[in-house]
């Protein structure tokens, strides 16, 4: 790979920091690296390859001469800087949801639809975290027979609400142990020893926007404009890594054995078949890019259905890793 | 109600203790109360209506002269004592799963199929906790149009593994706060800040017996021998109260408005419609008999489908309360 000039926009957040770690871990050849943030975090230093890099305030002039900008900022920031990034000629790989529905912006999971990335016009969108994890488990089955529909219930870690979400769970657990009081700030009710079935904003059909992403983004990534997904997104008191209970129905019947074989061979997936414990938990998935799959069995409600359970690190494959893998795909 | 002679078999466990509390709370007229346990717990005293009752070791002679025996013991104990209870003439309301599949034993949720209880031949079975909670939310919809199938993913509290399960989560959380180590004993892996997608023993179709209960018991309770249920049971780090994400499909279409109206009017259910927070969490459900329902909306995958979220106290309506409500139903 040629040496690259890169920036991370939103470098001080949970996803931005993970992108920085992964640039080093993946040994991506970096000629120049700019860490960009809002005014508040500018001046912070972050370690990279044994040096400390000072975070700069992002301005419209920050992107000149770059090959890629890795976006880890929220939608409003992403929308604000996208025109400047495009003018600079850099390819913008954006983890926000700002451009995911834009038909000219490819929405990419490299193992599934990497080819789409090549058709970019300057912006490539990184999908929603739960969508990435569910589709990584579903894609090998889709390759055997097209998916018609899916019912998904998620078990989403507090890392999905950023570093503040992780801090809230941590502090609530400390308060529990010390028998003190700690009122919720990030979530509307306590998340420690609780689960919250409401992530994102409600849409017209009473699903949340987070829940609709699995259908909307799944349609684009799998090239299935008719795909139907009914998703329920639930926050659970897990620090990192999302899990998903997934039932899916395909055009033709796929046997459990065929499904197991396909998942085992799919790059980026691992089917857990250990005789002592043949299912993954979110703790197992934390800190790695691989999506762990288990509990694979026939769905009992309709013909041509399968049920499975999958876990993936929300910050890695659900966000930062997938973005860097898009870059690697384009540069390979 | 006439004054009753009662026993609780397995009085010192989590469900047995709750039955004792509820006998007092429900003001059931008690003429005589025998608290029975295994040898190890015999001699313990438990408070009831301002007095302390000494727990006795259960023997075949423990049941003579009783009107009801409330069973809160595990399957082997239940099977062992059932013949002696039947000989005594007492009605045995059993919370174990030992008799739930027996066609001569009614399996009863009073709000749904209370009439079935009257056909008992000495034993009445109390359903599985997640099944009770899911069916309480589904039954009002079933009354509008028969249910064909359901996909359920559970979020089950550690109380489902008894007092030891609750102790394990508590001690793991304390260890986290104190940065010490506490290896799992009750569960195969840590449950604190984790979720475990495996409850019960595997059956031939790779579902667990816990997962198959929702179909097997649902068929008996709803009088739907063809009901199809695909369930995934997941343990979550919640101390008490189970939650279930449920998609269900009926013969004819039920609008969301009709469904909301039916759930609101169903005894023992409450539809959460508060404008600030229109969904329940397990913390909300703890300590009450009512099943809380929210997130009611159309299923997006098939015709005639609905999706909802429900929470219920696993030890109360999921176990002890339902057993006492069966007694109340028979005595009213």
Residue A254 in tokens: 């796929």
Question: What is the structure's pLDDT at B56?
Answer: 98
Per CATH, the architecture of A131-315 is what? 2-Layer Sandwich (3.30)
Which residue in the list A120, A231, A233, A242 is annotated as catalytic?
Answer: A242
Nearest residue to A53 (alpha-carbon basis) of A14, A7, A84 = A7
C-alpha–C-alpha distance, residues A315 and A323, integer Å: 11
Burial class from Cβ neighbours inside 10 Å (0-12, 13-18, 19+) for residue A76 reads: exposed
C-alpha–C-alpha distance, residues A237 and B312, integer Å: 19
Nearest residue to A55 (alpha-carbon basis) of A18, A5, A8, A94 = A8
A4-61 pLDDT, tens digit per residue, is 999 999 999 999 999 999 999 999 999 999 999 999 999 999 999 999 999 999 999 9
B187 Cβ under 8 Å from any chain A Cβ: no
What is the overall mean pLDDT for chain A? 97
CB A30 within 8 A of CB A2: no
E strands of chain B, at which residues? 4-9, 30-37, 45-48, 51-54, 56-57, 68-71, 91-94, 123-125, 147-155, 228-232, 242-250, 269-271, 291-298, 305-312
Quickly list H helices, B26-96.
Answer: 75-88
Interface test with B, best of A152, A158, A172, A194 (most B CBs within 10 A): A194
A186-221 pLDDT, tens digit per residue, is 999 999 999 999 999 999 999 999 999 999 999 999
Phi, psi of B262 (to 5 degrees): -65, -40
Give the other-Cβ count within 10 Å of A180's Cβ. 9
Nearest-CB residue to A195 (from B151, B155, B215): B155
Indicate if the pLDDT at residue B1 is higher than 90: no
Sequential DSSP letters for A46-63: EEETTEEEE-EE--TTTT
B266-301 pLDDT, tens digit per residue, is 999 999 999 899 999 999 999 999 999 999 999 999
Cβ partners under 8 Å of residue B275, min gap 6: none
A265-285 pLDDT, tens digit per residue, is 999 999 999 988 999 999 999
User: Closest Cα of chain A to B176: distance in Å?
Assistant: 8
Mean pLDDT across B136-157: 98
For residue A283, the chain B residues in CB contact (below 8 A) are: 189-190, 193-194
CATH 3.10.20.30 fits A4-127+319-331, yes or no: no
A299 Cβ under 8 Å from any chain B Cβ: yes
Comparing alpha-carbon positions, the chain A residue that sits nearest to B283 is A194
Question: What is the structure's pLDDT at B25?
Answer: 97
Nearest residue to A270 (alpha-carbon basis) of A249, A250, A284 = A284
Question: What is the structure's pLDDT at B8?
Answer: 98
Question: What is the structure's pLDDT at B180?
Answer: 95
Mean pLDDT across B175-185: 95
Q: How many CB pairs under 8 A join A and B?
A: 169
Question: What is the structure's pLDDT at B289?
Answer: 98
A242 as an active site residue: the answer is yes
CB B77 within 8 A of CB B10: yes
Comparing alpha-carbon positions, the chain B residue that sits nearest to A207 is B297
Nearest residue to B230 (alpha-carbon basis) of B248, B242, B253 = B248
Question: What is the structure's pLDDT at A98?
Answer: 97
Question: What is the structure's pLDDT at A125?
Answer: 98
Phi, psi of B172 (to 5 degrees): -65, -35
Indicate if the pLDDT at residue A108 is higher than 90: yes
Question: What is the structure's pLDDT at B291?
Answer: 98
Question: For chain B, give me the number of helices (H) and strands (E)?
Answer: 9, 14
Give the position of tokens 């301002």. Answer: B50
C-alpha–C-alpha distance, residues A63 and A76, integer Å: 17
Question: What is the structure's pLDDT at A42?
Answer: 97
Residue B16 in tokens: 């047995």
C-alpha–C-alpha distance, residues A14 and A3, integer Å: 25
C-alpha–C-alpha distance, residues A248 and B85, integer Å: 47
Structural domain spans, chain B: 4-127+319-331, 131-315
B188 Cβ under 8 Å from any chain A Cβ: yes
Mean pLDDT across B161-177: 95
What b/e readout covers B169-193, taking b as 16+ CB neighbours within 10 angstroms? bbbbbbbbeeeeebeeebbeebbbb
Question: What is the structure's pLDDT at B106?
Answer: 98
Q: How sure is the predictor about A253, in pLDDT bands with cuts at 50, 70 and 90? A: very high
Mean pLDDT across A111-140: 98
Question: What is the structure's pLDDT at A105?
Answer: 98
Nearest-CB residue to B195 (from A205, A206, A282): A282
User: Closest Cα of chain A to B247: distance in Å?
Assistant: 8
What's the complex ipTM? 0.97
Which residue in the list B120, B142, B231, B242 is annotated as catalytic?
Answer: B242
B197-244 pLDDT, tens digit per residue, is 999 999 999 999 999 999 999 999 999 999 999 999 999 999 999 999
B256 Cβ under 8 Å from any chain A Cβ: yes
Q: How sure is the predictor about A1, in pLDDT bands with cuts at 50, 70 and 90? A: confident
B238 Cβ under 8 Å from any chain A Cβ: yes
Indicate if the pLDDT at residue A101 is higher than 90: yes
C-alpha–C-alpha distance, residues B127 and B109, integer Å: 7
Half-sphere exposure of B47 (CA within 13 A, CB side): 3
Distances (CA, A) of A61 to A45, A232, A303: 20, 41, 57
A255 Cβ under 8 Å from any chain B Cβ: no
Q: Name beta bridge partners: A244.
A: A154, A310
Which of 142-181 (B) contact A at CB < 8 A?
149-151, 153, 155, 169, 173-174, 176-178
Q: How sure is the predictor about B260, in pLDDT bands with cuts at 50, 70 and 90? A: very high
CB A207 within 8 A of CB B297: yes
Question: Are both A4-127+319-331 and A131-315 of the same fold?
Answer: no
Nearest-CB residue to B190 (from A150, A237, A283): A283
C-alpha–C-alpha distance, residues B3 and B321, integer Å: 19
Q: Name beta bridge partners: B122.
A: none
Nearest-CB residue to B193 (from A197, A237, A277): A237
A142 as an active site residue: the answer is no
Cβ pair B205:A300 closer than 8 A: yes
Indicate if the pLDDT at residue B254 is higher than 90: yes
């Amino acid at each position: 790979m040629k040496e690259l000039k890169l920036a991370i926009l939103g470098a001080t957040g949970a996803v931005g920091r993970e992108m920085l770690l992964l640039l080093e871990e993946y040994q991506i050849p970096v000629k120049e690296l700019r860490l960009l943030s809002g005014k508040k975090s500018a001046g912070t230093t972050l370690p990279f390859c044994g040096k400390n890099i000072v975070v700069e305030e992002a301005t419209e002039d920050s992107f000149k001469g770059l090959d890629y900008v890795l976006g880890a900022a929220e939608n409003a920031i992403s929308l604000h800087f996208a025109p400047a990034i495009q003018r600079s000629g850099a390819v913008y790989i954006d983890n926000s949801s700002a451009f995911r529905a834009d038909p000219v912006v490819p929405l990419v999971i490299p193992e599934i639809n990497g080819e789409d990335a090549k058709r970019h016009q300057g912006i490539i969108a990184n999908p929603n975290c739960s969508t990435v994890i569910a589709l990584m488990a579903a894609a090998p089955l889709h390759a055997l027979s097209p998916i018609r529909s899916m019912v998904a219930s998620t078990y989403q870690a507090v890392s999905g609400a950023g570093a503040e979400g992780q801090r809230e769970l941590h502090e609530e657990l400390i308060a529990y142990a010390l028998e003190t009081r700690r009122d919720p700030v990030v979530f509307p009710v306590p998340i420690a020893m609780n689960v919250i079935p409401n992530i994102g904003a409600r849409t017209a059909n009473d699903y949340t926007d987070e829940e609709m992403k699995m259908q909307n983004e799944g349609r684009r990534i799998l090239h299935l404009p008719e795909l139907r997904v009914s998703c329920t997104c639930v926050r659970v008191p897990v620090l990192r890594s999302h899990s998903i209970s997934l039932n899916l129905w395909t055009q033709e019947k796929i046997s459990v054995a065929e499904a197991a074989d396909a998942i085992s061979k799919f790059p980026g997936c691992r089917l857990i078949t250990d005789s002592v414990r043949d299912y993954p938990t979110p703790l197992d998935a934390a800190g790695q890019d691989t999506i762990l799959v288990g509990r694979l069995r026939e769905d009992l409600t309709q013909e041509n259905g399968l049920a499975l359970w999958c876990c993936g690190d929300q910050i890695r494959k659900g966000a930062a890793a997938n973005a860097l893998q898009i870059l690697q795909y384009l540069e390979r």
